[in-house]
Structure 1
Amino acid sequence: MQKYADYIEQIEIESLWSGKKHVIWDLDRKVNILSGVNGVGKSTILNKVVKGLSANGEFPSHMIKGVRLKVSPEDAKWIRFDIIRSFDRPLINAETVSKIDISLATELDWQLFNLQRKYLDYQVNVGNRIIAVLQSGQPNAAQQAQRISEPKRKFQDIIDRLFADTGKTIVRTENEIRFNQIGETLVPYQLSSGEKQMLAILLTVLVEDNLPYILFMDEPEVSLHVEWQKQLIDLILDLNPNVQIILTTHSPAVIMNGWMDKVTEVSDITV
């Protein structure tokens, strides 16, 4: 049976910049924010860790030479993880989606397309659990079923609140994510860059289904309004209290809601 880590305790990189720098970063269970001037190595540290994890999160056999992770529990051999990058760039591999009968113009569009598939799987899993509980005959079955469906409802409520200024609301009768805006139905690819970015982050968190996992984010604030930047960490933890966040940022707004003590300067972990 695959044994997954709950979180990463320490990242060690002994070969940063051709061996000139040695990084040892002791991590918080919940929130870790890496800061520093441009070019100091924030993204490089994240990328080296992510690159060493195989697609299904197996490690340490796939780790890049000189990169080591200490995890909890220490005998775990797999990590559930996701990586969020910030730039809504034009879709580079357009041929990949040429056979899909929808208009995908950017990398965020492609990310949202894949998340829609995961969202459908998530809903099937949630539905099956609700049916099993309701058929169990337990006296508190209805309350248990409501608890199982609560994360999805919370996600929808959060998105509705964030998008309220533009009059967008999630269509809750649809299996795929659609929005209503003054009587018009919109798909996620019609949103602004900032809306796509926030939707992608929160949807990524939701479909992990409250399991312990690591969310890597490289400058997630780039497309986000400053008010959304302030709320970002709290919204993620609200949707999944079992997540461990590891992010890089240049934005003071991201840490304004009480996360200053979770900030680490690259220079503080580099020798």
Structure 2
Amino acid sequence: MEANLIHCIEIRNLWRKYDLIWKDLNADVNILIGINGSGKTTFFNILDAIFTADVKRLKLYGVSVTVEVNDFIVNYNPKTPVSELKNALSGIRYQKISTFDVPMKDRPKAGKEYSQLYNELHDIVYNIGGDRPSFSDYRLKATNFPDQAAKINERIHAFYDTVNRLFAKTEKTIEIDPHTNHLIFIDQGEVIPLYKLSSGEKQLLIILLRVFLMEEQPYILLMDEPEISLHIEWQYRLFEEIRNLNPNCQIITSTHSPSLFGDGWGDKLFYIEDMVRVIS
């Protein structure tokens, strides 16, 4: 299987003061650490703009970027045309997972079923034929490709087992409603629709579903502070569960939570202060 790994990232002329050089990234998990205001979110925004070929956004930062991926180099400077950047990115599988939700004070006017997290989760589960694959798209493969049905159903049941294991303390179990064909949870006989899940539960499902839908292909996965809304136990187990769902996924993340790297991932830490060089 073809590798899909970042080995080195260089961002030059950041805020017209710094060059940032991140070398020797791990093939599995990379955790960026730094104090507030050190540039972690800016770094992630620039990296996301590179992999989505968002030249308009990149020009706002005024930086030049070099990313070593697999055995080739992706270069960008403010004069690079979007077509050239897109061509350089051809064949790279990339995904960013965001953390967001509507503040509690805004929910009454937004409606009980509305939140950014719920909209994202709803699209991942039900949006058929969209730009990104959905859980419904994947389930339909079992019908459209009968020769793959056994493997598809096996993966779906394994995904359910992962979710049920993580939700065990709340006694919720995931299943498909046989009447509506909707993804639901059952809590002591009561049906729990997706919009009634907590922010942390929605966030966890979004992460797990996005990784599951990678279908174990090599991916670069970017997550900025994924611990937001997640219970401490889920934080401890997050990287393990992601790697179980897709062992070919390279995780690049940032965090302020020691719980996220407390269960055997301490050797995956990188300090942004060690990467920054003042422009002379």
TM-score, normalisation: structure 1: 0.81
Alpha-carbon distance in structure 2 between the residues aligned to 1:224 and 1:24: 30
Conservation of the 8 A alpha-carbon contact between 2:177 and 2:184: no
- Between the two proteins, the alignment pairs up a number of residues equal to 244
The aligned counterpart of 2:75 is none
Conservation of the 8 A alpha-carbon contact between 2:141 and 2:152: no
Kindly indicate whether residue 236 of structure 2 is the aligned counterpart of residue 230 of structure 1.
yes
- Superposed CA offset, 1:186-217 (max 9, x none): 22111011111111110111111111111111
The aligned counterpart of 1:270 is 276
Give the partner amino acid of 2:170.
Answer: T
Give the partner amino acid of 1:169.
Answer: T
- Superposed CA offset, 1:153-200 (max 9, x none): 221111112112222111145554211122222221110111111111
Conservation of the 8 A alpha-carbon contact between 2:160 and 2:175: no
Kindly indicate whether residue 48 of structure 2 is the aligned counterpart of residue 50 of structure 1.
yes
Conservation of the 8 A alpha-carbon contact between 1:52 and 1:62: no
The aligned counterpart of 1:142 is none
Kindly indicate whether residue 147 of structure 2 is the aligned counterpart of residue 132 of structure 1.
yes
> Which stretch of the first structure deviates more once superposed, 232-241 or 182-191?
182-191
- Residue 125 of structure 1, CA deviation: 2.8
Q: 1:73 to 1:188 in 2, by over 3 A?
A: farther
Where does structure 1 lack aligned partners over 5 or more consecutive residues?
134-144
What SS does the corresponding residue of 1:258 show, helix, strand or coil? coil
Alpha-carbon distance in structure 1 between the residues aligned to 2:28 and 2:260: 15
Aligned residue runs from structure 1 range 85-124, under 5 A = 85-90=98-103, 104-116=113-125, 117=127, 118-124=134-140
- Residue 63 of structure 1, CA deviation: 6.1
Conservation of the 8 A alpha-carbon contact between 2:219 and 2:248: yes
For 1:159, which of 158, 163, 172 is the aligned residue?
Answer: 163
Conservation of the 8 A alpha-carbon contact between 1:90 and 1:107: no
Give the partner amino acid of 2:214.
Answer: E
For 2:193, which of 175, 179, 187 is the aligned residue?
Answer: 187
Kindly indicate whether residue 266 of structure 2 is the aligned counterpart of residue 260 of structure 1.
yes
Q: 1:255 to 1:106 in 2, by over 3 A?
A: same
Q: 1:126 to 1:14 in 2, by over 3 A?
A: farther
The aligned counterpart of 1:23 is 20
Give the partner amino acid of 1:158.
Answer: T
For 2:35, which of 34, 37, 61 is the aligned residue?
Answer: 37
> Which stretch of the first structure deviates more once superposed, 172-181 or 194-203?
172-181
Where does structure 2 lack aligned partners over 5 or more consecutive residues?
73-87, 128-133
TM-score, normalisation: structure 2: 0.78
Alpha-carbon distance in structure 2 between the residues aligned to 1:220 and 1:83: 11
Give the partner amino acid of 1:165.
Answer: K
Alpha-carbon distance in structure 2 between the residues aligned to 1:38 and 1:45: 13
Q: 1:59 to 1:194 in 2, by over 3 A?
A: closer
- Superposed CA offset, 1:42-80 (max 9, x none): 1111111102333xxx69999654122211142762432
Conservation of the 8 A alpha-carbon contact between 1:5 and 1:76: no
Conservation of the 8 A alpha-carbon contact between 2:177 and 2:183: no
For 2:215, which of 202, 206, 209 is the aligned residue?
Answer: 209
What SS does the corresponding residue of 1:105 show, helix, strand or coil? coil
Kindly indicate whether residue 241 of structure 2 is the aligned counterpart of residue 243 of structure 1.
no
- Residue 265 of structure 1, CA deviation: 0.4
For 1:150, which of 151, 154, 165 is the aligned residue?
Answer: 154
Q: 1:48 to 1:59 in 2, by over 3 A?
A: closer
Aligned-pair Cα RMSD in Å: 2.7
**Percent sequence identity over matched residues?**
40
Alpha-carbon distance in structure 1 between the residues aligned to 2:274 and 2:143: 47
- Residue 124 of structure 1, CA deviation: 2.0
Alpha-carbon distance in structure 1 between the residues aligned to 2:233 and 2:103: 26
Alpha-carbon distance in structure 2 between the residues aligned to 1:106 and 1:169: 23
Conservation of the 8 A alpha-carbon contact between 2:33 and 2:256: yes
